[in-house]
Structure 1
Amino acid sequence: MSAATTVEDVYLTIEESARLLGVPCSPEKIRPVLTAYGEGLADAGMVLSVATGANPPEDLDYTITVPATGPDPYAVALSEGFVTKPDHPVAGLLPDLRARVPVSEYFIDGGIVSGFSKIYAHFPGDTLPVAQLADLPSMPPSVAGNADLFARHHMHDVAMVGINYRSRAVNLYFAQLPSAFRTAHNIRSLNRALGLPEPQGPSLRFAQRSFRCYVTLGWESPRIEKICYAPAPVRDWDPSALPVLLDPRIEKFVRDTRCTYPGPPFVIAALKWSASGQHLNLGPYLRLSPLLRDLLHEVTGEKV
Structure 2
Amino acid sequence: MEWQKEIENLYNNLVSKMPQSVQPIIGPLLHETCEKKCHERKGDTVTERDFVIALFEVTPPAVQPTMIEDLTSLGVDYNKWMVYVKAGFQHEMDLNQTLEDLKKIADFAGVECDEEAIWEVFNAYKDFFTGSSISIRTTSKPVEKRDVSIRYVELMMQHDPDPYITATKEGLIEKNGHPLHKMFYEIYDKFEMMGHGVDLDVSKGLTKIWSFMAPCPVDRIYTMETIPDSVKTLKDYFSRHGLNEFVLFALDFYHKTVNIYFLVRDPSKVKPEKYETLLKEVGFEPASREIMEKCTKATTLYYTFNWETNKVERVCFGVLCPEGAEGVPVHFHPIMKEFVEKAPFATDKRTFIYAITFSPEGHFYKIESDYNGTMIEILKMGAQGGLEL
Give the TM-score, by structure 1 length: 0.85
Aligned residue type for 1:85: K
Alignment match, 2:357: 272
Partners of 2:144 and 2:307 in 1: how far apart? 33
SS at match of 1:171: strand
Task: Quote the Cα distance in structure 1 between the aligned partners of 2:333 and 2:281.
Answer: 28
Aligned 8 A contact 1:68 1:104 in 2: no
1:196 matched to 2:281? The reply is: no
Q: Does 1:99 align with 2:225?
A: no
Q: Which residue matches 1:81?
A: 171
Equivalent residue for 1:144?
A: 232
- 1:109 counterpart residue number: 199
The 1:253/1:208 distance shift into structure 2, 3 A limit, reads closer
Take 2:130 and 2:137, find their aligned partners in 1: how far apart are those partners?
20
Instruction: Report which of the two has the higher share of helix.
Output: 2
How far apart are the structure 1 equivalents of 2:152 and 2:93? Answer: 17
Instruction: Give 1:153's aligned residue.
Output: 241
2:346 match:
260
Secondary structure of the corresponding residue to residue 273 of structure 1: strand
Contact 2:267 2:296 in 1 (8 A): no
Residue 181 of structure 1 deviates from its aligned partner by 8.0
Is the contact made by 2:101 and 2:344 (CA closer than 8 Å) also made in structure 1? yes
In structure 2, runs of 5+ residues without a counterpart are 1-90, 385-389
Aligned pairs, how many?
Answer: 292
The 1:6/1:71 distance shift into structure 2, 3 A limit, reads farther
Task: Give the corresponding residue for 1:208.
Answer: 296
Shift of 1:106: 1.0
The structure whose Rg is larger is 2
Partners of 1:254 and 1:7 lie apart in 2 by 22
- Which secondary structure does the structure 1 equivalent of 2:94 belong to? helix
1:17 deviates by: 2.3
User: Residues of 1 paired with 2:265 and 2:382: CA distance?
Assistant: 15
- The CA deviation string for residues 87-125 of structure 1, in whole angstroms up to 9 with x for no partner, is 2211111111123322222111132123321111122xx
Q: Which amino acid aligns with 2:208?
A: K
1:17 aligned residue (99, 105, 123): 105
Q: Structure 1 144/56 Cα, relative in aligned 2: closer, same or farther at 3 Å?
A: closer
SS class of match (2:325): coil
| Aligned partner of residue 299 in structure 2, secondary structure | strand
- After superposition, the Cα gap between the structure-2 partners of 1:180 and 1:283, relative to the gap in structure 1 and judged at 3 Å, is closer
Contact (CA 8 Å) 1:130, 1:144: kept in 2 or not? no
Q: Which has the higher strand share?
A: 1
**Structure 1 residues 254 and 70: alpha-carbon distance in aligned structure 2, compared to 1, 3 A threshold:** farther
Which residue does the alignment assign to 2:130? 42
Displacement after TM superposition at 1:297 (Å): 6.5
- Alignment-derived partner of residue 28 in structure 1: 116
Quick one: which of 128, 134, 151 aligns to 1:63? 151
User: Which stretches of structure 1, 4 residues or more, deviate above 6 A after TM superposition?
Assistant: 178-181, 297-300
C-alpha distance in structure 1 between counterparts of 2:114 and 2:358, whole Å: 30
C-alpha contact (below 8 Å) 1:7/1:35 kept by paired residues = no
Contact 1:182 1:207 in 2 (8 A): no
Alpha-carbon separation, structure 2, partners of 1:252 and 1:50: 11
Q: CA deviation at 1:288?
A: 4.4
1:219 equivalenced with 2:302 (yes/no): no
Measured after TM superposition, the shift of residue 47 of structure 1 is 0.9
User: Partners of 1:53 and 1:167 in 2: how far apart?
Assistant: 16
Unaligned 5+ residue runs, structure 1? none
What is the TM-score of this pair, normalised by structure 2?
A: 0.68
SS at match of 2:209: strand
> Offset at 1:55?
4.7
